[in-house]
């Protein structure tokens, strides 16, 4: 979706969207409004969505907002979004997850062998599969951050 739904409005200022951004919870806000919500809270923690109360760890400006980057005011706001995304997009754990997953998968020793404990031995393999899924999800999130406002 290129922008917020038609006939919708910012739930913070209750006005028409000005430089809309979508949060990772799929709600839309004026970029400046959601950054003000963050500025009024703890600076070292991501703000919570005013609608669903989930932590906002990623803000994605609409394509129309990104096209206005040549405007000095818009450029400054988009820089703040990039800073916010760098602080809270949780990319720092990607490398650690990748190394640990690789070591475990390449290890010839299974932590709990299936031959000894049956279904419980299978459980540790499912956990590793889940960790790999989390790693792929983190990589995808990283791609989103880089594509939509990250550096």
pLDDT tens digits for range 2-15: 778 888 899 999 99
- Whether this prediction's pTM lies above 0.85 is answered by no
The pLDDT value recorded for residue 32 is 92
The pLDDT value recorded for residue 146 is 77
Give the number of other Cβ atoms within 10 Å of residue 64's Cβ. 12
Q: Does the domain made of 20-88 have the CATH classification 3.30.40?
A: yes
The pLDDT value recorded for residue 94 is 61
The pLDDT value recorded for residue 86 is 83
Ranges of the chain whose pLDDT falls below 50: none
| Cβ partners under 8 Å of residue 78, min gap 6 | 31, 61, 65, 66, 69, 149
């Amino acid at each position: 979706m290129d922008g917020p739904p038609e006939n919708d409005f910012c739930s913070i200022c209750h006005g028409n969207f000005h430089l809309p951004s979508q949060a990772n919870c799929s709600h839309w806000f004026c970029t400046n409004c959601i950054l003000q919500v963050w500025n009024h809270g703890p600076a070292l923690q991501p703000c919570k969505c005013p609608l669903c109360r989930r932590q906002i760890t990623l803000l994605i400006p609409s394509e129309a907002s990104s096209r206005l980057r040549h405007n000095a005011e818009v450029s400054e706001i988009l820089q703040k979004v990039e800073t916010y995304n760098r602080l809270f997009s949780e990319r720092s754990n990607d490398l650690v997850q990748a190394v640990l997953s690789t070591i475990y998968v390449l290890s010839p020793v299974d932590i709990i062998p299936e031959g000894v404990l049956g279904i419980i031995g299978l459980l540790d393999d499912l956990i590793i599969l889940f960790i790999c899924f989390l790693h792929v999800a983190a990589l995808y999130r990283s791609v989103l951050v880089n594509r939509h406002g990250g550096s």
